[in-house]
Amino acid sequence: MDWKNQVVLITGGTGSFGKKFTKILLEEKQPKKIIIFSRDELKQHEMRVAGYDHPSLRYFIGDVRDRERLVRAMHGVDIVVHAAALKQVPACEYNPMEAIKTNIMGTSNVVEAALDAGVKKVLALSTDKAVNPANLYGATKLAAEKLVIQSNAYAAGTATRYSCVRYGNVVGSRGSVVPLFLKQRASGKVTVTDERMTRFWLSLEEGVHFVINCIEQMEGGEVFVPKIPSTKVVDLARAIAPDAKIDIIGIRPGEKLHEALISEDEARTTVELDRMYVVQPAEALWFGYAWDKKGKRLSDGYHYASDNNTEWLDVEGIKKYIAPFEKLFAEGKLEG
């Protein structure tokens, strides 16, 4: 795939993922143009003055809730990466309609605007919380996934294709527990909701490279899931604050002990490759099951969860992931 001729738009482009995606894409792929689509002029200004002022960059103010604005922004665009979302679990629980308007209706607007604008590829970012959701955030992301995948039914006669990427917690991203533990460390006590809790982990760079790889390979209708390590949350706390007391405060509403990336039901149509899984649609009326020829089907009853993972990070392994954030925290530059 020749990125140098591509015009790329990223919704939520001023977020943790958006900035890292923009940086890596400029350094490694040099696309013709990258459009940062987001609703906050201050964050766009801060992104620009922080060094994101490349001649290929365009800053476009707009909200994914505004379909007409999306249509305007997507004029001449080849690839859309949909990263905009309300993702804080407590905020979504307290503001349910806002979560629905952004995460579900906003995704619907992205899908329809891309079809109207003749965009070739749309890749939406999802989360492990969309699998067997236990909170409103997960439920909205599950609905968003279904919207994206099933919209290939509308696009089958056009050039537009839709796929999703689904992965776990990104180390150090906004709302991550890493900045929280770093702040708590000074008090000599860190809070963990349940000592049994496990989570999937990957770095922001790994997430970005996975997304780029999936854009290059997508045919439409897939949910791409990377093979990533798990960690115990208490081990993460020990890696960040080895001398602090761990205070078990009890599981929060909508929180799971373990996260899943592939459910038992999805496993029936999932293909395993070396470094990822590809969840094919349960009913593929459009593009068939082309991934069957590239990997192997999962065994009956399989599910991919953070507690049954074969790949784990111990305390030393976690320290390598959090080292960059230790430095940012010391310099007062880590976003909470």
Q: What is the pTM of this model?
A: 0.94
Residue 288's pLDDT is: 64
Main-chain dihedrals φ then ψ at residue 304, nearest 5 degrees: -110, 105
Minimal CA–CA distance to 305: which of 213, 228, 245, 241? 228
Alpha helices in the chain (DSSP H): 16-28, 41-49, 67-73, 89-94, 96-99, 106-117, 136-150, 152-155, 177-185, 204-217, 233-240, 315-330
pLDDT by residue for the chain (336 residues), tens only, comes to: 899 999 999 999 999 999 999 999 999 999 999 999 999 999 999 999 999 999 999 999 999 999 999 999 999 999 999 999 999 888 999 999 999 999 999 999 999 999 999 999 999 999 999 999 999 999 999 999 999 999 998 887 899 999 999 998 888 777 678 888 989 998 999 999 999 999 999 999 999 999 999 999 999 999 999 999 999 999 999 999 999 999 999 998 888 999 999 999 999 999 999 999 999 988 766 666 789 899 999 998 999 999 999 999 999 999 988 888 888 788 777 765
Residue 332's pLDDT is: 77
- What's the CATH code, domain 3-330? 3.40.50.720
Residue 177's pLDDT is: 86
* Residue 333 bears catalytic tag: no
Residue 336's pLDDT is: 58
Which is the catalytic residue, given 87, 129, 232, 256?
129
Q: Where are the domains of the chain?
A: 3-330
> Which two three-digit tokens encode residue 290?
């082309």
Are 312 and 231 spatial neighbours (Cβ–Cβ below 8 Å)?
yes
Return d(Cα 10, Cα 47) in angstroms, integer. 14
Are 260 and 304 spatial neighbours (Cβ–Cβ below 8 Å)?
yes
Strands 198-202 and 169-170: parallel
Residue 335's pLDDT is: 67
> Which two three-digit tokens encode residue 1?
């795939």
Return d(Cα 174, Cα 283) in angstroms, integer. 36
Query: What sign results for the dihedral spanned by CA atoms 315, 321, 323, 328?
Result: negative
